[in-house]
Amino acid sequence: MFTLPLGDTARLRPLEPWHAPEFLAHIDRARPHVDPWIPWATFSTDRASATAVLQRYADKQAQDAARIYGIWLDGTLVGGVMFTRFDSASGVCEVGCWLEAAGEGRGLVTRACKALIDWAFAERGMSRVEWWVAAGNTRSAEVARRLRMTRDGVLRKHTEYRGERRDIEVWSVLSEEWPSQEAAAEAEAASDVKAELDRLMHTFLGAFTNTGGSLPNLDAVREVFIPQATIIANTGGAGAEPVVHDLESFIGPREKMLTDGTLTEFSEWEVAERTEVLGSVAHRSSEYRKSGIRDGERFEGSGRKTVQFVRTPTGWRMSSMAWEDI
């Protein structure tokens, strides 16, 4: 039996009739999230009906007409993906998914669906992979977007469920549109880098927050920058000299203001950004807003930042920053 890793503690493997007790326990947990989008979950209400669902897929797999796989996280079944239709003669198949709350927010479904689509195109020579989703199922539509599918159209009042006719959106990706595994690996690596740079920026901005009585965490600034970093304030207007800081001369005055009552209810957040990664260096142009209470008076502001990043032996870090208020 094969197992594909989806992360450090997540695995994808076939979901078979003998899994029925585990499958039923999972569906009982998932039912509020799965119904009404996956109708067969409605009919998995006891061991016999759960077994019947899995047996139906086993029979279809024997006919090369469908397949179903489970996603296990830390040894617990939390969701799955499937070929709901697989027609090798026409070269068209349909992929679907479901997930309980414990598996959300980890990218498990997207990675599992990519594995199925890779196999359909590379191993089976399929021409088109479809994704059918009930109108209003925004989570499922977002997965289709992440899989770079195109929304082909809507089948109006196509499907009846519990006495209601539903519109069905049809999304698809073609074999010539699907990146090679090498290209996909490069894109995933680039996405991982971008996510790390996003995290560094989020951590930096969050270090100064003291809203709702919370305390700022200026140690986080030391964590996201290299020790030799330069931080430049260019906020004095035309003709004014930029103010250049090292880490400690930047952190010290701000930590005092944020903890002695001078600056309260302060927060700062990005509203737009553009990030470029060039090997082991990167650059980010950022627009931000901020608000707080300074010396008893509420204020709001905005500005621009540019940030330089470098990849170090311990991961990406900020190496310099310059900003101006506008």
Strand pairing partners for 97? 81
38 with 145, same domain: the answer is: yes
Per residue in 155-188, is it b (16+ CB within 10 Å) or e — as a string? Answer: eeeeeeeeeeebebbbbbbeeeebeeeeeeeeee
52 lies in some domain: yes
52 and 142 in a single domain? The answer is yes
Question: Does the residue 263 lie in any domain?
Answer: yes
CATH of the domain at 58: 3.40.630.30
Q: Is the same domain home to 127 and 219?
A: no
Structural domain contains residue 230: yes
Domain shared by 233 and 316, yes or no? yes
| Judgement on whether residues 100 and 233 belong to the same structural domain of the protein | no
The answer to whether residue 225 is domain-embedded is yes
Domain-embedded: residue 183: no
For residue 113, tell me if it sits in a domain: yes
Last residue of a domain, one of 178, 213, 230: 178
* Domain limit, last residue, from 155, 178, 201: 178
Strand order in the sheet with 10-14: 4-5, 10-14, 67-73, 76-87, 92-99, 128-134, 164-174, 150-161
Residues 281-314 have pLDDT tens digits of: 999 999 999 999 999 999 999 999 999 999 999 9
Report the distance separating Cα 70 and Cα 1, nearest Å: 13
The residues facing 315 across adjacent strands are: 312
Whether residues 122 and 151 fall in one domain: yes
pLDDT at 161: 75
Query: Is 192 in the same domain as 161?
Result: no
The more confidently predicted of residues 101 and 92 is: 92
Q: Same structural domain for residues 173 and 223?
A: no
Query: How far is the first Cα of the chain from the last one, in angstroms, to the nearest whole number?
Result: 61
Higher per-residue confidence, 107 vs 255: 255
- Which residue in 282, 326, 287, 283 sits closest to 305, CA to CA? 287
Pair 123, 41 in one domain: yes
**305 within domain boundaries:** yes
Count of domains in the chain?
Answer: 2
pLDDT for 8 equals: 74
Question: Is 72's pLDDT higher than 80?
Answer: yes
Q: Report yes or no on 63 lying in a domain.
A: yes
Q: Is the domain of 160 the same as that of 250?
A: no
Q: Hey, which of 47-61, 131-145, 147-161, 168-182 has the most confident mean pLDDT?
A: 47-61
What is residue 274's predicted lDDT score, i.e. its pLDDT?
93
The whole domain housing 23 covers 4-178
Residues with Cβ within 8 Å of residue 231, at least 6 apart in sequence:
225, 244, 245, 246, 247, 250, 320, 321, 322
Q: Are 206 and 164 part of one and the same domain? A: no
Q: Residue 164: what pLDDT?
A: 82
Contact in structure between 34 and 40 (CB atoms under 8 Å): no
Q: Is the dihedral of CA 281, 200, 245, 283 positive or negative?
A: positive
CATH number of the domain encompassing residue 311: 3.10.450.50
Are 291 and 262 within one domain?
yes
User: What is the average per-residue pLDDT within 241-255?
Assistant: 95
Residue 185 has pLDDT above 70, yes or no: no
Of 159, 178, 197, the one marking the end of a domain is: 178
